[in-house]
Each structure stands twice: as structure tokens, then as C-alpha cells.
Amino acid sequence: MNVSKRRLLIGRMYHESNFLPSFRTDGSWFNEHRDEAVLQEASGSSSTLGGIYKKAKALGYEMIGAVDIAAPPSALVDDDYYAGIRAAFVECARRRNFDAIALDLHGAMGTGSIPDADGDLLAALRDAVGPDIPIGVGLDLHAHMTPKMLSSAEIVIACKENPHSDTVECGERVVELLDQLLSGKLHPVSTLARVPMILMGNAETNAGPLQELHTLARSLAARHPQIRDISLYNVMRLMDDVDMGQSVVVLSDGPLPAATEIAARIAGEFWRRREEFRDDLLTIDRALDLAADPKKALPVALGDMGDRVTAGAPGDGVYILQAALKRPGLRGAIPITDAAAVAKAKAAGIGAHITLDVGGTMTSMFQPLAIRARVRNVSTGVFTMAGPFHGGERSDMGDTAVLDLENGLVLLVTSRPAYSLDPQAFESQGISIAAQDFVVVKSGHHFKLNFAGLVEPLLVATPGIGYPFPGYHPGTRGRFYPEHEVGEPAIKALSFARP
């Protein structure tokens, strides 16, 4: 058999947007690639895009790079920047010189005027390619799932693990399913059910209620050979859109009445167990007691839950620093986002002793803290993630300063919210993790993957917008438990067949 190679257009738009800050995330925040460079980036990346590349190559596809943008979570994306990115994607799509499109989207990107940018992009791509070219998407499980996504793309699935250890597999699965579709072996129908609630916590998939819900999903899928995927979406909590909630999407080959029951049943389980999604967190003092324990085998990593950059917070909290300053001799590394403090350190120069305020300028409920420090190092703040989460990817913290405090603490002061979930954020700046009693990370889940074997992970209750509290969400578009009174929801499932 002599068939010409199938061609796949691939790309990525990866951003989780927090609607609270008044500034906008523009192009300077993103790692951006076009055309051939998209393929180069994908080939070395342990991400969903990397998985798309890997599987497409294995199946003998020829790949065409479209657009790739990725940045750590931050404020809503600048409208003009997004318009340019969408136009670039659409230009590639209009060429129609491929058999299918495979994308890595986070699924929780908003702009100043478009709350669901991922759905907007997919609708624009569908317009550009017409009804016959299939689109497959691998989403983060913290996506805000919308009908627009499902009515624009045939294959829409999520990674299944939090922390996200299976992003590569998610990308591979997208290509496998697209390949089945192109070969006529899959006639995709997506069935969506949703409940209006956020998870307050307890959001990892290797224990607790989420583990049980994923086990339930797998066992229900196993009973129906027509079911190809069940994805559970735990919406990013700092979006502002209608119908925010926990979403379940069943992907079946052809219409399947059982898919409706299954989607509604799993969504109903989220609601029934809604009170179980809360974390047991340590107080800051208890966490520092554990850091000070001379018998500990490894440094402890303190997940700064209220100020998690990975949950959309700016990373400018100084509460753990404030408490650690009262414990002289404790060695700890603490990241803080503060562009003005970095500028001051740079101006003073390496080796200078300076007095300055750090943190507390981006989160409205925070206050800056005055410290005295010696400037150890300044840099551009660019490093390569060690992974496994996003290993091999370039990460940009903006101009960065390393400041030594007199009592044994070291501050990693970055101009931008940084991916401190990866040890290279510290090591690349000359801060040894092994030499610390503790390291603060602005992450609650992913750091457990990237710091595995290097630290004992702990989760700490701290103030901030990264962890929901009553009144945390001043948005006007959506209503969801427990932020709003929503009553007992009527759970209905809705199906989307190939357009």
C-alpha cells in the first residue's frame, strides 16, 4: 500500500489567566515560536505539545508548525496581543495544507474582553478550515470547559493527573484519536455535564475524592467500548465567566445514551461530595518547626498556598519570610515577585548592602516588608525547567536578584511571577536547595513532581488570592458554590456531534 503521508498542523496556546490584576499579560511574557520553530520546541518538551509531536512522528505524520505561545499564569491577556496570535493561527489554518489540527491549549485563558479565549480560538479555526478538517485538543485539567470548545473541535480531552504527570500522554492520546477519526474508525460525540462549584482544595488525583472520581470514570468507561475518553475538569478559580464549574466530558464513538447518564452521574458525585474538597494545611509556625527539626532527612519545601503563582497569584507574599525572620539560624530560600526591588538591587550592584522594601505591592491585601540584605547576584532570570512538569522548557522570571539576609535566609527576587515549582528556578541563580532547611515554592501540587527526591513537600496556609476564601471572587459573570448561593443544581448533559 502506498499512501502519501498525512499532515498535521500543530500549535499551542498555554496560559491560565487571573481576572483580578488590573495590568494585562502582553507578548513580552510569553515564550513564542512560529512555523518550523514550533516543531523544534515540541520535539524537546515534556508537555502536551511534546506528546502531540512524539505520537505524530511515531505514526508517520508530516508536521507543520503553526504558533506556540506559553507563559506561567498571570493577569488576563492583552486583547491586541491575543488578536495577533489568533490571526496568525487563522492564517496557517486557511492554507488547508494539512489533514487535521492538533493543539495544546490550557483552556483557562481569558483576555480583557474575551473570557473564553480558548473557545474563541477554536471557533476561529473552525471558521477558517470549514467543516471537514478535524481539530483535536489536549487541555489542562484546570480548563474552563465551554460548549464553544466542544462545538468547534471534534476531539477535546484533558490530562488526568494533578500534579500533571501525564501531559505527554494527553498529547499522544489526542493524536491517536485524530488518527482513528481520519481512518474512519471514530465518529466522535462529546457529552458534557457540569455542576456550578469550585474545588476549595483537596484537588490532587492520587488521593481523596478526586482519585475516587477518576477511578469511577475509568470503571464506567470500561463497561462501554464506545467510550474513548472521560475527562474531568476542575475549573481554574480566578476566571470570570458564565457557567464556571466542575465539568465532565464523555467522548464516545457515535451517539451513546449511556454517555449522558455517565456524565451526569460523575457531575452529581462532585456535587454530593462538595464539602470534601478542602485541604488540611499547616500553619506557618508549624511548617517552620518542621523546617527547624535537625532530624529531618531532606529540606522541606513549603507550598505557599495563598500566594501560588500556579493558581494565578502574583507571588508577592512575605508572610513566611516575616515568620522565618524571627528564627535566626534557619536557612531558607524564599521567592518574591517585586520588580522595583530587583531594580534597586541591580542599581546598588553585586556585593552592596542595601535596605529595601520587598513584596506586597501586587496583591491588594498584602503589605511590603522592610529588610536589610547583601546583593549576591543579579541576572536576566532565564532558566531551563528540569521537569518532569514542563521539563526542557525555557522559563523567564524577568530580571532577578539574589539577596542574602543576615540571619541565613536567601531571597530570590524576580520581576515577574516565577515558576518556583522547579528547582532550577533556584539552582540556576546559585541557590543550592540541598544547603537549605526549607525552600518556599509558590505552588501547591506541581512542585511535588519537579522537586521529587530533593525535598519533603508541605502545604502551608497563607493569606492571598491563590487559595479561595469566602468573598475571594468579585466577578460578575458566574455563580458557583460556595462563593454564591446556587441551590440544588439540576444536572443536564448536552451532546456535541461532529460539526
Q: Which stretch binds Zn ion (CB under 5 A): 71-79, 133-141, 199-207, 247-255?
A: 133-141
CB of residue 166 vs Zn ion: minimum separation in angstroms? Answer: 12
CB of residue 315 vs Zn ion: minimum separation in angstroms? Answer: 17
Q: Which stretch binds Zn ion (CB under 5 A): 137-145, 332-340, 383-391, 490-498?
A: 137-145
Site for Zn ion in 337-366 (CB under 5 A): none
User: What is the edge-to-edge ordering of all strands in the sheet holding 188-195?
Assistant: 227-234, 246-253, 188-195, 493-497
CB of residue 301 vs Zn ion: minimum separation in angstroms? Answer: 19
187 vs 199: CA distance, rounded Å: 33
- Measured CA distances, 291 to 416, 426, 438, 462 (Å): 27, 18, 6, 16
Is 331 a binding residue for Zn ion by CB under 5 A? The answer is no
Q: 181 or 311: whose CB is closer to Zn ion?
A: 311
Report which secondary-structure segment, H or E, holds 213: helix 208-222
Q: Which stretch binds Zn ion (CB under 5 A): 40-48, 134-142, 242-250, 320-328?
A: 134-142
52 vs 63: CA distance, rounded Å: 10
Task: Report the amino acid identity of residue 216.
Answer: L
CB of residue 142 vs Zn ion: minimum separation in angstroms? Answer: 4
Q: Which stretch binds Zn ion (CB under 5 A): 132-140, 146-154, 248-256, 295-303?
A: 132-140
Q: 164 or 473: whose CB is closer to Zn ion?
A: 164
Is 86 a binding residue for Zn ion by CB under 5 A? The answer is no
CB of residue 236 vs Zn ion: minimum separation in angstroms? Answer: 7
Is 142 a binding residue for Zn ion by CB under 5 A? The answer is yes
Roughly what angle, to the nearest 10 degrees, separates helices 48-58 and 167-182? Answer: 40
By CB under 5 A, name the one of 41, 104, 120, 140 that touches Zn ion.
140
Q: Which stretch binds Zn ion (CB under 5 A): 62-70, 92-100, 139-147, 489-497?
A: 139-147
Q: 179 or 304: whose CB is closer to Zn ion?
A: 304
Give the cell for residue 271: 456535587
CB of residue 25 vs Zn ion: minimum separation in angstroms? Answer: 17
CB of residue 369 vs Zn ion: minimum separation in angstroms? Answer: 30
Backbone CA torsion sign across 168, 451, 309, 233: positive
Number of residues that bind Zn ion (CB under 5 A): 2
Do the bridges between strand 135-139 and strand 155-158 make them parallel or antiparallel, or are there none, so unpaired?
A: parallel
493 vs 47: CA distance, rounded Å: 30
Q: Could you tell me which residues are beta bridge partners of residue 233? A: 247
CB of residue 235 vs Zn ion: minimum separation in angstroms? Answer: 10
Q: 142 or 308: whose CB is closer to Zn ion?
A: 142
Q: 142 or 473: whose CB is closer to Zn ion?
A: 142
Contacts within 8 Å (CB) and 24+ apart, 84-87: 84/27, 85/13, 86/120, 86/121, 86/124
Contacts within 8 Å (CB) and 24+ apart, 222-228: 223/258, 224/252, 224/256, 224/258, 224/259, 224/262, 226/252, 226/253, 226/254, 226/256, 226/259, 227/251, 227/252, 227/253, 227/256, 227/258, 227/259, 227/262, 228/177, 228/180, 228/186, 228/188, 228/252, 228/253
CB of residue 92 vs Zn ion: minimum separation in angstroms? Answer: 26
Q: Which stretch binds Zn ion (CB under 5 A): 24-32, 140-148, 208-216, 425-433?
A: 140-148
What residues make contact with Zn ion under the rule CB under 5 A?
Answer: 140, 142
